[in-house]
Amino acid sequence: MVRKSSEDRLGILLWYRLSRFYQQSVKHSNHYLKEYGLSISQFDVLVQVGTFDRLSQQELADKLLVTKGNMTHLLSKMEQLGLIQRTQEWKTKFISLTEKGRELFEKVVPKQEEFQIGQFDALTKEERKQLHTLLKKLQMDMEE
């Protein structure tokens, strides 16, 4: 067995803590979104399409970091619920919100944003800025 240094252990603890925080956040979000019949994935689509008004299916998949197959299934379900509509322009499929989707967006998104903001209430403004900078640095390092 390889002995881990205290720096290695700290790295592992950081990963676990970040993972637990994310899992708890998703759990609470799922509970809230269930009231509206939405999953986290559906909410993510609602936010992206509602924010940009219209996205190609590929742009949406890229923003959500999901495969084309998963995106197709998710969009089909949302289309059945009457939340989105897909239009084809030559080889590109575009997604936009229906009136029902727009109404849900305007109802659900502000409350969910309040919840997300509130998760960082234990931190000072300076600590939130520092956390943002550090997470951004980690993300950029992973993307290289």
Residue 67: predicted pLDDT: 74
Residue 3: predicted pLDDT: 63
Looking at domain 41-112, which of 3.40.309.10, 1.10.10.10, 1.20.140.10, 3.50.50.60 is its CATH number?
A: 1.10.10.10
* List of residues 6+ apart from 36 with CB closer than 8 A: 104, 107, 108
Q: Are 16 and 110 in contact (CB under 8 A)?
A: no
The CB density around residue 61, as the number of other CB atoms within 10 Å, is: 19
Residue 9: predicted pLDDT: 85
pLDDT tens digits for 89-117? 888 889 999 999 999 999 999 999 998 89
Q: Which residues of the chain have pLDDT under 70?
A: 1-3
Domain ranges within the chain, ordered by starting residue: 41-112
Residue 47: predicted pLDDT: 94
